[in-house]
Structures are given as structure tokens and as C-alpha cells.
């Protein structure tokens, strides 16, 4: 029989060891089971930084898009027109990827994407290159209130992010870049180390919603998993342990 058989020593490869050590038989009592209070549903906004409201997605007029056609047309697009995204379109795409439909006190949120145990362990950062009404820089989506907070106005950010993603130049030419960071304790509080598996599954749910929603706005998307983790975490000002970048994707108007 090929492969690792039950009862054999744990496999040696890093990826294989991750899969082995996150099996349920190694998971003890979670912090939730031990009665430890859960972490906040969202990182707090910085009171010293500007916040702006986004247009409500239900107020935006969008062309009707057949779901089957959206799925058939879904592809990664790396070439974009020299045309800005509108603030309406950006707000719509943010809502489609992390929008909050229902808040259950401080216990859970139900959103536009699935998440294991409704933990929703992601924060969404947006690198703005070309969006009407927004100056360039890094923003964070405050999903609970559907607002944006500007967090970094460094004019070299797009160049730095492109370099940290191994010089994929279409990042620089996109209208915006969605950067999803994981706050792992939101997930591991309930599921222990097994929760790290769920983080990566959830990232796929979120990015697929972006691909499909972009069809309604005339935009193309390209997901990116190739990046220097440490450098990207430095750019975002996060420590890589309590919060780390897990996935990102460019968005821009299709170059027809």
C-alpha cells in the first residue's frame, strides 16, 4: 500500500506534518470548551485615522448576470483597462466578499461568504491604485459598519507590494488589490489547531465570491498566493502570528 498508513510515524514533509498534526486525535479542549471568552468579531478601528462610509450595495444599480454565465466566464485576468473603479463598485465587491448580513450581539456574524462556525477570522485590506473618490494608499474594510478606514498613505505602497509579490507587475496596473489577513485566534478559539485548516478553506470561499461578483461590474480578478509572507506582513504592520496575510487578489476593469 502506498503512502502513510494509520499507525505509522508522522510523515516528514512540512505540509504532510501540518495535515497530520491537525487531525482531530491531536486536538485537545478548545478555549471555547474551557470557558474562555471569545475574541472580538472585528479588530477595532483606530480612532486617530480617517473613516469614510461606503455606498450601500443594495442602492447600486447593476446589470443582471446569470450565475451560470458568471461561472463559465470566470478566469484570472492580469491585463486591465486604464479606467478607474467607482466607489460604488468597490463597496459592492467588499460587501460580496465579507459583507455582514446579520450580527448576533458580540457572538457571531452571518456574512455573504461561508466560514467554519461563523468565525469569520479575516480582515480585508484594500490597496487603492485607481478608484474614483479615493486617494491612493492602504485601507481596511470595517465590515461590521460597511466603512473604510485609511491606514497608510505611503505613495510607494503599490511598488512595495508588487516587489513583495515577486514583481508581478499587473498588481501595479490594477484598480485595487484585496488583501485578506487572518486573525487565527478567532478560529482556533473554537477549533484549536484544526482551525488553521479552516482559515485556508475560508480564503477560497472569499476569493471565489470576488471572481463571480466582479462579473457584474465589468471587472477582472487575479488571485495571488505567491508572496513574501514576512515582507507583506511588515508592509501591513502586522506581526505574522496574531495576524498574517493569507491571500490577495487584484481587481481592475476588463481590457476589452
Q: What is the pLDDT of residues 12-62, one digit of tens each?
A: 799 999 999 999 999 999 999 999 999 999 999 999 999 999 998 888 788
CA separation for the pair 169, 237 (Å, rounded)? 23
Architecture (CATH level 2) of domain 14-43+51-253: 3-Layer(aba) Sandwich (3.40)
Please say if the pLDDT value at position 202 is more than 90. yes
Question: Which one, of 177, 12, 4, lies nearest residue 90 by Cα?
Answer: 177
Instruction: Quote the cell numbers at residue 228.
Output: 513574501
Task: Give the contacts of 136 (CB within 8 A, at least 6 positions apart).
Answer: 128, 129, 153, 155, 157, 158
| C-alpha closest to that of 231 among 218, 221, 240 | 240
Of the candidates 243, 245, 116, the one whose C-alpha atom is nearest the C-alpha of residue 192 is: 116
Residues 6 or more apart whose CB falls under 8 angstroms from that of 84 comprise: 130, 131, 132, 175, 253
> Quick count: other Cβ atoms within 10 Å of Cβ 185?
17
Residue 212 is given by DSSP the state H
Q: DSSP assignment, residue 126?
A: E
Condensed to tens digits (0 to 9), the pLDDT of residues 76-116 reads: 999 999 999 999 999 999 999 999 999 999 999 999 999 99
CB contact at 8 A, 199 and 121:
yes
pLDDT in tens, 124-164: 999 999 999 999 999 999 999 999 999 999 999 999 999 99
Q: Please report, for the chain, the start and end positions of each structural domain, with discontinuous segments joined by +.
A: 14-43+51-253
Amino acid at each position: 500500500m502506498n503512502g502513510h498508513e494509520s499507525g505509522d510515524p508522522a510523515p516528514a514533509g512540512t505540509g504532510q506534518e501540518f495535515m497530520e498534526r491537525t487531525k482531530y486525535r491531536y486536538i485537545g479542549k478548545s478555549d471555547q470548551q474551557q470557558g474562555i471568552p471569545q475574541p472580538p468579531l472585528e479588530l477595532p478601528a483606530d480612532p486617530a485615522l480617517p473613516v469614510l462610509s461606503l455606498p450601500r450595495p443594495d442602492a447600486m444599480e447593476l446589470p443582471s448576470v446569470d450565475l451560470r454565465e458568471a461561472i463559465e466566464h470566470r478566469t484570472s485576468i492580469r491585463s486591465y483597462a486604464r479606467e478607474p473603479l467607482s466607489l460604488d463598485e468597490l463597496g459592492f465587491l467588499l460587501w460580496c466578499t465579507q459583507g455582514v448580513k446579520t450580527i448576533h450581539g458580540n457572538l457571531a456574524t452571518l456574512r455573504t461568504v461561508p466560514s467554519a462556525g461563523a468565525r469569520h477570522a479575516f480582515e480585508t485590506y484594500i490597496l487603492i491604485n485607481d478608484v474614483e473618490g479615493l486617494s491612493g494608499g492602504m485601507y481596511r474594510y470595517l465590515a461590521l459598519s460597511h466603512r473604510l478606514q485609511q491606514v497608510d498613505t505611503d505613495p510607494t505602497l503599490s511598488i512595495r507590494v508588487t516587489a513583495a509579490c515577486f514583481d508581478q507587475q499587473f498588481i501595479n496596473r490594477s484598480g485595487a488589490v484585496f488583501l485578506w489577513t487572518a486573525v487565527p485566534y478567532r478560529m482556533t478559539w473554537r477549533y484549536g489547531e484544526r482551525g488553521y485548516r479552516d482559515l485556508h478553506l475560508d480564503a477560497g470561499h472569499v476569493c471565489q465570491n470576488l471572481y463571480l461578483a466582479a462579473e457584474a461590474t465589468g471587472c477582472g480578478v487575479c488571485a495571488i498566493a505567491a508572496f513574501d509572507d514576512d515582507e507583506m506582513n511588515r508592509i501591513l504592520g502586522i506581526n505574522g502570528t496574531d495576524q498574517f496575510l493569507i491571500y490577495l487578489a487584484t481587481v481592475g476593469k476588463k481590457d476589452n
